[in-house]
């Protein structure tokens, strides 16, 4: 199995690029995992405490389980991926089963931060997008898709999202094999990656 990591700031277009790549390839050969699914369980905290939890820090990610799941896929085993509920900021009881495939795409703001995750990767991508564009996309997404209030989104962005981007996410660009500038949509970059993946599958 070939592992592709896609990193970049929140709202940079990682999921859009990931879905574009996956949609251009036979779905039976490609599996997709979002690192958002691997946020640590927070049921021990109150809802108010969860609301102000720093989800953009590396310690918020259950990296041990993520690494274990990827290795299981590489060894031909199916995995049960957690489902994260962004309205109550905790894991759901349900999971999603993923079977072994020829290609696994993993996206997340910290996908290139963890060395143990990078060591499993065959291709490492970083989506580079201007900060104001990323913030506008995040604001729109969190309000329309995650039931958030505008003031809460802005507060979280200023307190944790922006400083953690500068501290952990942005520096990880140095580990990328390919940097894709993303504005509305860089279809050329996505097409090039999709072509590379198709070559990997054929081999």
Q: What is the mean pLDDT of residues 185-201?
A: 73
How far CA 58 is from CA of 63, 76, 108, 160, 177, in Å, comes to 8, 28, 11, 12, 21
* Per-domain residue ranges of the chain: 2-202
Each residue's pLDDT tens digit, 107-157: 999 999 999 999 999 999 999 988 888 888 888 888 887 778 888 889 888
Each residue's pLDDT tens digit, 168-184: 999 999 999 988 887 65
Q: Specify the CATH class of 2-202 in words.
A: alpha beta
Each residue's pLDDT tens digit, 9-33: 988 888 888 877 777 776 678 899 9
Question: Over 80: is that where the pLDDT of 196 sits?
Answer: no
Mean pLDDT (the chain, rounded): 88
SS3 of residue 137 by DSSP: helix
């Amino acid at each position: 199995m070939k592992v592709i990591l896609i990193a970049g700031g929140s709202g940079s277009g990682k999921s859009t690029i990931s879905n574009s790549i996956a949609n251009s390839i036979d779905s039976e050969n490609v599996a997709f995992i979002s690192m958002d699914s691997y946020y640590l369980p927070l049921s021990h905290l109150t809802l108010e405490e969860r609301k102000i939890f720093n989800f953009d820090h590396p310690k918020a990610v259950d990296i041990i389980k993520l690494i274990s799941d990827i290795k299981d896929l590489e060894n031909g085993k199916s995995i049960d991926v957690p489902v994260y509920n962004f309205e109550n900021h905790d894991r759901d009881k349900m999971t999603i089963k993923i079977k072994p495939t020829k290609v696994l795409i993993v996206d997340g703001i910290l996908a290139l931060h963890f060395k143990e995750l990078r060591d499993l990767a065959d291709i490492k991508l970083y989506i580079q997008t201007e900060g104001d564009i990323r913030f506008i996309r995040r604001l729109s997404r969190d309000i329309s898709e995650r039931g958030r209030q505008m003031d809460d989104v802005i507060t979280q962005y200023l307190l944790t999202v922006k400083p953690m981007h500068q501290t952990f996410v942005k520096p990880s660009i140095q580990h990328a094999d390919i940097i894709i500038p993303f504005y509305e949509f860089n279809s050329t970059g996505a097409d090039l990656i999709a072509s590379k993946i198709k070559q990997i599958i054929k081999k």
